[in-house]
């Protein structure tokens, strides 16, 4: 396909040279890192205009895709209510409205109270995202956070749910918030590097300027995470990095007391804590790579007892304590399992799931004393379902399943689990879905992946995907190393010195799909976001011949250069994930796959990269510099487009319909690149 409807923008080269470990790294587009430079904004606007011009012939297709995607959304809808004491909390959406209403009702048939109308709160803002959302224990007040820039930094408000009035002054730069009692609220705030690093205590009726700094994390590798135990008896503050954790605890009955450490931090030792009765339950990798579960009396944390041993074939993901049950979320052979036992771990049983390939997770469960476990269940062909599982009767009841108003027949689609072989002989799983009867004749295929941070790319349902499946696509997920689909070792073998495995795994998955006839290089598109954007930009640099189209969403492309900037948000915390280029051995690994530094002259597939001007996770200049350099090196006439959202950050638009427009744009690009025009 030849696309020459306009002259692409030209980014001036202003080379700077970085000397590192005997190498000269030339960065011709470092000037794009200055967001305050009018020339930078002008360049991003020119790229946006160029992208719209190039894709103008696909305007009808884009509108059609948007209509299809929107037609699969039940616009006037209500979530399954979540019990919390005498109230039932839920969200509700109205036809035509971008944002939900946050609601509750007393009992199952009570009158609705609208606690927050995000549509009203979004007025005057191009972006609106709800962060912390925590009713006080007596449910008379609500602490909630709003982000109106896309930076994922929240302003915290406290609302009186009886009068509707806002209490005290707003609190800025907030990440998380939790109530200890009805008068005491704890919250974490960000530093300049977008790291949650301080814990404050706020007393209702006082000025936030008087709030007490309870804890400050001075190790720049560590972040803070605040949680309230389901029992309500404790707050937990987890200090976490990619190389270990440390947990502090506070009895909610004594909110002015000192926070105490469960176990001091140790290198490479992760542990997480929950509470039941007189015991803390501790999930840890100390002595078990895939984690084991211990318990210890709160009064003597040295007197540990092993509740569930570590197993080489099973990863323990998380635990949930209830008054009469212990729920353990596990992962075995790439699939999630839910183990239910007595609180001491005895009498274990597993939930049976109705499909061979699926995903399931513990959902919103606010009640401590209950027999009912709320689950979220989905598969590549089954719409997301909210399930209530009776842990006493061992019965399964679907409370709500995602409705597809325009119609959907799950029997028309097939999902499978395939296996590719990586260059080192490792078996790499692939989840794939396609329309029943689709021939294996090298047809269109979208391959997606992530492969970082231990994040497992589960095979969940996505109604937007139907627009591809119904046009003959197969959609596949490459479960590459760097996730935890096959246990902790799967993660460890895809980071730091082993990071290249992530890319060779993905290439192996693409080659397997081609060899088995599911697709061909001329009909294969790939897509990844953030660290998944690094994945697809790295592999297209390594094997540009293997793909026809690439969608790189907010891609992390300047790995070495970004990791040299220790004043950049997240850099120091990320050294334990990617490496520190100041260390030569780690630099050499990063340099081997860095998408920006490894670009070379030659032909490339059709490429769309996206960015967010207010993105603090992956700065807009990451994809902007990569595209600018690629423009200077690419020798063929395939599409090369950069779209920067000038009003949002890492997640793109916040409104549900505005987000659909972004997806429709990306799908139209993929279809156009593969020669599919309707």
Strand order in the sheet with 549-553: 413-421, 427-435, 474-478, 445-448, 524-529, 549-553, 606-612, 640-645
d(CA 519, CA 315): 33
78 bridge partner residues:
92
User: Which string of DSSP letters, residue by residue, matches 287-322?
Assistant: T-TT-EEEEEETT-TT--EEEE--BTTEEEEEEEE-
Sheet holding 196-203, edge to edge: 129-135, 141-147, 154-160, 166-179, 184-190, 196-203, 212-216
Active-site annotation holder among 242, 275, 606, 650: 650
For residue 403, count other CB atoms closer than 10 A to its CB: 13
Among 456, 467, 530, 654, the one annotated catalytic: 530
- Cβ atoms 245, 270 nearer than 8 A: yes
Distance CA 7, CA 550 (A): 21
CB contact at 8 A, 276 and 231: yes
Q: Which of 615, 622, 653, 654 is catalytic?
A: 615
- Residue 605 CA to residue 1 CA, distance in Å, equals 10
CA angle 352, 356, 362 (to 5 degrees): 50
- Is-catalytic flag, 650? yes
Q: Catalytic: 397?
A: no
Distance CA(440)–CA(335), nearest Å, equals: 26
- With b for 16 or more beta-carbon neighbours within 10 A and e for fewer, the 302-311 pattern comes to eebeebbebb
Residues present in the chain in total: 678
Give the integer Cα–Cα distance in Å for 360 and 348. Answer: 18
Our CA dihedral for 91, 94, 98, 102, rounded to 10 degrees, sits at: -20
Stretch (H or E) spanning 623: helix 621-633
Active site residue 654: no
Structure-block tokens of residue 327 = 């729920």
Cα separation values, 300 from 296, 304, 396, 501, 615, Å: 7, 8, 39, 43, 45
Q: Supply the residues annotated as catalytic.
A: 530, 615, 650
């Amino acid at each position: 396909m030849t696309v020459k409807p306009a002259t692409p923008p030209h980014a001036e080269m202003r080379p700077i040279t970085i000397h590192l470990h005997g190498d000269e790294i030339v960065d011709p587009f470092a000037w794009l890192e200055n967001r305050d430079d009018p020339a930078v904004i002008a360049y991003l606007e020119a790229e946006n205009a160029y992208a719209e011009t190039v894709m103008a012939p696909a305007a009808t297709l884009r509108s059609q895709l948007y209509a299809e995607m929107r037609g699969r959304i039940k616009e006037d809808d209500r979530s399954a209510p979540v019990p919390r004491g005498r109230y039932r909390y839920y969200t509700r959406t109205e036809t035509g409205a971008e944002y939900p209403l946050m609601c509750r009702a007393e009992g199952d048939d009570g009158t609705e109270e609208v606690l927050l109308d995000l549509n009203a709160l979004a007025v005057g803002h191009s972006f609106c995202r709800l962060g912390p959302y925590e009713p006080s224990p007596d449910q008379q007040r609500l602490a909630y956070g709003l982000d109106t820039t896309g930076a994922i930094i929240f302003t915290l408000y406290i609302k009186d749910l009886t009068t509707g009035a806002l209490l005290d002054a707003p609190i800025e730069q907030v990440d998380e918030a939790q109530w200890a009692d009805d008068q005491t609220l704890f919250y974490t705030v960000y530093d300049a590097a977008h790291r949650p690093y301080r814990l404050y205590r706020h007393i209702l009726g006082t000025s936030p300027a008087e709030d007490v700094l309870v804890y400050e994390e001075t190790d720049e590798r560590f972040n803070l995470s605040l949680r309230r135990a389901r029992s309500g008896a404790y707050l937990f503050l987890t200090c976490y990095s990619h190389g270990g954790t440390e947990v502090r605890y506070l009895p909610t009955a004594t909110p002015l007391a000192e926070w105490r450490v469960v176990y001091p931090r140790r290198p490479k030792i992760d542990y997480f804590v929950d509470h039941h009765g007189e015991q803390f339950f501790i999930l840890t990798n100390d002595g078990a790579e895939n984690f084991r579960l211990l318990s210890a009396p709160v009064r003597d944390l040295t007197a540990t007892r092993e509740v569930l041993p570590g197993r080489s074939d099973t990863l323990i993901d998380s635990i949930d304590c209830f008054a009469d049950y212990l729920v353990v979320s596990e992962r075995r052979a790439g699939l999630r399992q839910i183990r239910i036992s007595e609180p001491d771990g005895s009498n274990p049983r597993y939930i049976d799931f109705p499909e061979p390939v699926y995903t399931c997770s513990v959902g919103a469960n606010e009640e401590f004393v209950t027999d009912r476990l709320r689950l979220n269940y989905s598969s590549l062909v089954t719409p997301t379902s909210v399930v209530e599982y009776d842990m006493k009767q061992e019965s399964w009841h679907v409370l709500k399943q995602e409705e597809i108003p325009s119609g959907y027949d799950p029997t028309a689609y097939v999902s499978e689990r395939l296996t590719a072989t990586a260059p080192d002989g490792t078996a790499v799983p692939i989840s794939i879905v396609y329309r029943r009867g689709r021939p294996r004749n090298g047809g269109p295929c979208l391959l997606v992946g992530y492969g970082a941070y231990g994040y497992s790319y589960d095979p969940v349902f996505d109604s937007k995907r139907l627009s591809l499946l119904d046009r003959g696509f197969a959609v596949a997920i490459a479960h590459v190393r760097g996730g935890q689909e096959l246990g902790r070792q799967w993660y460890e073998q895809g980071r730091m010195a082993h990071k290249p495995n992530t890319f060779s795994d993905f290439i192996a998955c693409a080659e397997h799909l081609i060899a088995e006839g599911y697709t061909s290089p001329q009909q294969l598109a790939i897509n990844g976001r953030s660290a998944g954007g690094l994945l697809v930009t790295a592999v297209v640099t390594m094997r540009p011949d293997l793909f026809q189209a690439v969608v790189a969403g907010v891609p992390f492309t300047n790995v070495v250069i970004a990791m040299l900037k220790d004043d950049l948000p997240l850099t120091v915390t990320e050294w334990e994930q990617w490496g520190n280029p100041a260390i030569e051995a780690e630099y050499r690994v990063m340099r081997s796959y860095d998408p920006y530094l490894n670009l070379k002259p030659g032909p490339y597939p059709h490429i769309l990269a996206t960015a967010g001007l207010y993105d603090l996770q992956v700065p807009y200049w990451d994809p902007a510099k990569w595209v600018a350099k690629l423009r200077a090196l690419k020798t063929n006439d395939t599409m090369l487009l950069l779209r920067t959202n000038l009003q949002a950050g890492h997640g793109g638009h916040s409104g549900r319909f505005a987000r659909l427009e972004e997806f429709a744009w990306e799908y139209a690009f993929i279809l156009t690149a593969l020669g599919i025009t309707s």
